[in-house]
Amino acid sequence: MTADTAVHLFEETFGGRPSGVWSAPGRVNLIGEHTDYNAGLCLPIALPHRTYAALAPREDRLLRVVSAQGDGVVEVSLDDVAAGRPAGWAAYVAGVPWSLERAGRTVTGVDVAVDGGVPLGAGLSSSAALECAVAIAVSDLCGLDLSTSHEGRVTLAAACVEAENVVAQAPTGGMDQSAALLAEQGHALLLDCRDHTTRQVPFDLDGHDLALLVVDTRAEHQLVDGQYAERRASCERAAQELGVASLREIAGDTLEDRLTTLSSDLLRRRARHVVTEIARVEAACVALEAEDYRTLGRLFLESHASMRDDFEISVPELDTAVSAATAAGALGARMTGGGFGGSAIALLPRDEVDGARRAVERAFAMHGFTGPESFVVTAEGPAARDL
């Protein structure tokens, strides 16, 4: 998966050379799950895995898109892009210039060839990587000048969120697009979903002989739509009963007293996860600033327990990955992403990585689960032009 393979695909499909190649990373969230729609905090890093897009502008309003991970060429006029149109993967591409135009920017048609290096559907946000690679490309090609400033990148992230919500018709909070466009190398990105501010927090594993292992459980996502809606509705209901605009407003120290006033044990547990998780993100930032990775590991484990017991979004594969990695020497581990499948992360001393990987594989085999994919990641840079 490189810029060159995207160029080859472009030449093969459309003839002629692309004007350039742009790429954007996948992301993994270190901590802060299901906090975005509660005006809370999350802390993603950008991955070394990137999606590459080779583009050339057109003189008409046609969009032609091809992907090494898709099937065939999809053609659609900018005038025909709408909710659910085009269908399938090309929506994530076509939605981006469509959204920028809706926001009053002048765009043209483009030819796009994609080669994605972010595993699809593993909870590592291949969808945002695809959108954001296209977004900075369109900005550069159409002279929108949105890729060179923080404010411009925030505008691009909003266009990508709209593309995904409206055209691809997938609910997404915005963490993925912000991470892909704003996260810096060697840092995690603290995202405040209440006032939409961001802060770079140092994340230097190398300097501490540590490594972050991502375990893609390859567990089937089940009942995700209904479950996500229930969690959101429960959080809204809890905030309403507590008389606050969002669960962000509940301070940690008076938590249990406040929670006893809620009308059910279910609401108490849902709210407890969100409030304590936001506090854990704050504590994780303090720990990272102090280079205290042991505390970060402990926070990972507390976060996982909260998601398993209070928010009930884990599955046996995720719990198995977390306990096997911890038993094999991890400072901490947790499921990451929305839950019900996807990936777990483990913070490990560098020389324990291979052993932990084998321990997770053995535990999966023992339970009869599909074999997991695992890989070591570092915090890399945001969407950029490559060629």
Both tokens assigned to 220: 């089937």
Closer Cβ to ligand ADP, 25 or 123, answer by number: 123
Closer Cβ to ligand ADP, 115 or 352, answer by number: 115
Stretch in the footprint of ligand ADP (CB under 6 A) among 40-48, 126-134, 196-204, 282-290 = 126-134
Which of 36, 111, 176, 216 is labelled catalytic? Answer: 176
Closer Cβ to ligand ADP, 127 or 374, answer by number: 127
d(CA 101, CA 37): 27
Interaxial angle between packed helices 150-162 and 91-102, expressed in degrees from 0 to 180 and rounded to the nearest 10: 120
Closer Cβ to ligand ADP, 130 or 212, answer by number: 130
Q: What's the 3-state SS for 254-288?
A: HHHHHHCCCCCHHHHHHHHHHHHHHHHHHHHHHHH
Number of residues that bind Mg ion (CB under 5 A): 2
d(CA 354, CA 77): 49
With CB under 6 A as the contact rule, the residue among 83, 87, 120, 286 that binds ligand ADP is: 120
d(CA 305, CA 312): 9
With CB under 6 A as the contact rule, the residue among 51, 139, 306, 336 that binds ligand ADP is: 51
| CA max distance for the chain | 67
In Å, how far are 62, 82, 355, 378, 383 from 347, measured between CA atoms? 46, 42, 13, 11, 25
8 A C-beta contact, residue 371 and residue 364: yes
The contact mask relative to Mg ion for 106-125 (x = CB under 5 A, - = no) is -------------------x
Phi, psi of 132, deg, nearest 5: -75, -30
Closer Cβ to ligand ADP, 52 or 300, answer by number: 52
71 a catalytic residue: no
- The residue number with the shortest CB distance to Mg ion is 127
d(CA 377, CA 361): 18
CB of 124 to ligand ADP, least distance (A): 6
Both tokens assigned to 381: 């840079």
In Å, how far are 34, 153, 217, 247, 264 from 256, measured between CA atoms? 20, 40, 34, 13, 14
With CB under 6 A as the contact rule, the residue among 9, 30, 114, 193 that binds ligand ADP is: 114
Both tokens assigned to 261: 């006033």
With CB under 6 A as the contact rule, the residue among 126, 320, 336, 343 that binds ligand ADP is: 126
With CB under 5 A as the contact rule, the residue among 127, 155, 177, 320 that binds Mg ion is: 127
Residue 178 makes contact with Mg ion by CB under 5 A: no
- Which one of ligand ADP, Mg ion, none interacts with residue 83, CB within 5 to 8 A by kind? none
CB of 163 to Mg ion, least distance (A): 12
With CB under 6 A as the contact rule, the residue among 125, 178, 314, 326 that binds ligand ADP is: 125
- Of 374, 179, 197, 210, the C-alpha closest to 295 is 210
With CB under 6 A as the contact rule, the residue among 14, 92, 293, 369 that binds ligand ADP is: 92
CB of 134 to ligand ADP, least distance (A): 11
CB of 54 to ligand ADP, least distance (A): 12
d(CA 127, CA 264): 37
CB of 123 to Mg ion, least distance (A): 8
Closer Cβ to ligand ADP, 52 or 369, answer by number: 52
Residue 29 makes contact with Mg ion by CB under 5 A: no
d(CA 176, CA 25): 10
Determine if residue 220 is left, alpha or beta; phi over 0 gives left, psi from -120 to 50 gives alpha, anything else beta: beta
Q: Rule CB under 5 A: which residues touch Mg ion?
A: 125, 127
Q: Rule CB under 6 A: which residues touch ligand ADP?
A: 51, 67, 69-70, 89, 92, 114, 116, 120-127, 130, 170
